[in-house]
Structure 1
Amino acid sequence: MSLVDIKCPNCGASIQLDNSRESGFCSYCGSKVQIQEAINKIKIDRSCDINNYLHLAKTASEANNGQETYDYANKVLELDSTNAEAWELKMVGIALMPGFNYYEIITAGNKAIEFDSSLELRKRIYMSFLSICSLYFQNACMMLLEDLQTLKVLYDSHCTLDPDNATNNMLNEDSTKDYLINEISQMLTLRFAVPDEEIGQDEDFAEITVEIAKGWIECEQAVNSRYNTYGTYLSDEALNYWKRELEKIKKGLPTKYLTNDINPNRFSTRIENNAPQKQKVVANNEGGCYIATAVYGSYDAPEVMVLRQFRDNSLNKTFLGKCFIKAYYYLSPPVAKKLKNAKRINKLVRFILDKWVKHLQQAFINELYV
């Protein structure tokens, strides 16, 4: 005896009947049920559900709604785990979501290829892998470069407070750099998910692989520029890693694509001419809040951000405020340096600043709701 899950055509209840028999009875309403007819109806219902979910997933993907694309694709896969279109849509949904997982993208894409061996689908999947990798490198490069001015201000502050350890402190505090370098390296998994022979046989694959190689070089240059901002540069060991990975990226490329644009000589090696030197300190009204940074221990402390906002949005808009800012940046570096190891005074200054920060935060809330 083999039980099968079906729905009663009379009351709609979910029941189990022996599929070796022609008919059975609903345990809820007592109606006679033709088992094969009920099974066929379930298949038709599921087919309708699958088509509806696929349509909804496509609509969501066209609207760039990654979460809904992903959810509807999963609903299809719950009903039919071999549906290649659903696996492809799941891949698209993952790619559209922030902080996506590249391993999940590769898994979903490869599953689609497993259940549909057509050349057209395989090309779509591999183009998706390569395109996502290329686009991520572009975004990562911009993120590495967009806050260099802020880093310079923080580096200058460290040079004032502790010049001997300014560079090391920056290396330890720059979590954005660590995160992006790790993500950039992991993103190469998408490139390596495309077989080298496919890249050698398809011009579209080759062209976008060249863009990935260029993006890899530009990311290294951006990382080095970031290091330059706080007076250092990539080590020879690190540079060799970037070069080795570049050669892996280029594997499979026909000779005509191996141009100077993707030559290892394009990598940055040392400090750029316009990069700041360790001892250089710039103190102006674009700088950091030296005393507040010394007291709270970080340029990015929430309290320091509140004070910077007050400086930029209130003080900097009046004549007297601007005069105060100029005087502050002239006088504060030596004061901040003394505060660094003066724990008792530091505590008192922090107590005063905490009250002022609380007042500014409350004023901001009042502006929002009054």
Structure 2
Amino acid sequence: MPLVPAICSQCGAKIEVDDNHEAGICSYCGMAFITEKVINNHLTSIDNMNIQNATINVNGPSVENLILRAEQFKTSKNIEKAKEYYNKALDIDATNVKALEGLKNVEYVGVLAGTTITFNMIDRIEELLTSNQKIQAIKYVNQSTGIGLKGAKNFVDEYEVSHDFNAASKKISATDISKRKKSGCYVATAVYGSYNCPEVWILRRWRDEKLAITWYGRAFIHMYYAISPAIVRIFGETSWFRKLWKSRLDTLVYELKGIGYQDTPYEDKVWAIPNSLSKRNKAIFEGYKNGISVEQLATEYYLSPKTVYKILSKTENDR
């Protein structure tokens, strides 16, 4: 039963097939494929397959293409498809850093109390805040996450300030951010016993270098800061709490270290937030005129692409 190398047309994985069988199933993605005998019989009608020597080459997507498709789905907010394609890329190359990080960040999940924040939720919160319906935004967050009115209010307050929805009455300095972050990583600090230890240094780097550079990552950070202090205050000293979260955090730390995050001493980054709504909007408009994409502007100003489009439209109409 001779086995020859092949490449799956569905997922691009390298596989081995039985040359005596006419068809088979990919062990990675579960899709059926045609082996050399049938390919030879139908070569004239199949123009996307090449057979050279004993190798069956079934042209399929590369890791790079799969990651590109995942990122396209992420941009269009199709989270499940984005996850699917990141996983397909990892089936081919299980150590691909871009796919690993993409999969971890394709949907930001509030690990506390099972809270999940989705792109649609953020869009709805922004719509309510933009139309001065803060109370409705708080109620919406509470109904969607079940974190309670106090936790929902803390989250909306943080989100409102960080996105400068009411710059005239709410301003926050870089120093304020630094102070808040110094008391951050509440759960990790409770689990590992110190804000300055190798595991927490890794998590702080991940927060600053990955989560904090995108609007949705910052939304997760704000949610985390809104609800974790109370949870740690109530349960932080209990053995079951530490046992529950230590296994989860250990897994995350192990994965982050595996893709390059260091466990050496670390100083938190300071993130400045725009202190003028009109200046921010003008800067966004000028940046777009100068060729900066909506996605880049959204990342730079910690906004959703939808909000950037609204700002561009409003600024253009006001000119």
Higher relative contact order, structure no. (Cα contacts within 8 Å, ≥ 6 residues apart): 2
Assess same fold via TM > 0.5: no
In terms of Rg, which structure is larger? 1
> TM-score scaled to structure 2, two decimals?
0.30
